[in-house]
Amino acid sequence: MNAKFFDLKKEKQDRMINAALKIFALNGYTHASTDDIVKEAHISKGLLFHYFESKIGVYSFLCDYSAKYYALELSSAVDPSETEYFAIVKQIEAAKLQTLKAYPYMLFFINSCLKETVPEALLENESPKLQLENALGTIYARADYAPLKANSFTDRYLKMLEYTLNGQMEDRLRDGSFNAEAVYAEGIAYIDVVSKLI
């Protein structure tokens, strides 16, 4: 990536980033097209390749940028002294809200990276993926799981909650009804429901 990308006006940077996040999130690495990215961003292909030499260059930048951006939001939103599990989950949702306000497709993109199978894409997202796993691992390591009911359903409920929180966000992005505040409110409602089951 050309470091001069960050000399562009913030609006243009974000327009290019958001366009690329959307195209890669919805299509995966293989089917994402730089033609679609430039069309979505309302820029020329020459401009895209001036700052990012190739499709893998755009993808690599997005992986790194997304991991750093979301990790920063997590560090701002999650209180390091909080230990109550569902309070932590709600703070993570607050970090997601701030991320989604600026970059609606960023978390969808991050989730799609976890499912990626193309070797060159896997190579580019390996380090950013580890960075986010470490950030979230540190947060969840502080959680006190003792108050949660110890039964065979607890893990299933928590996994169900994780799928639901990611799924409802992705559904709204796919069907065009996305609103960051509404996604956050819906997520908090799901957390409250599951917290009463456990």
Task: Look up the CATH number of the domain holding residue 69.
Answer: 1.10.357.10
Q: Which domain holds residue 171?
A: 3-197
First-to-last alpha carbon distance for the chain, in angstroms, is 47
pLDDT at 103: 98
Give the chain as a DSSP string: --GGGGGS-HHHHHHHHHHHHHHHHHHHHHH--HHHHHHHHT--HHHHHHHSSSHHHHHHHHHHHHHHHHHHHHHHHS-TT--BHHHHHHHHHHHHHHHHHH-TTHHHHHHHHHT---HHHHHHHHHHHHHHHHHHHHHHHT-B-TTS--STTHHHHHHHHHHHHHHHHHHHHHHT---HHHHHHHHHHHHHHHHHH-
pLDDT digits (tens, 9 = 90+) for 61-120: 999 999 999 999 999 999 999 999 999 999 999 999 999 999 999 999 999 998 899 999
pLDDT at 146: 85
Full-model pTM: 0.92
Per-residue pLDDT band at 16 (split at 50, 70, 90): very high
Domain count, the chain: 1
pLDDT, average across residues 42-59: 94
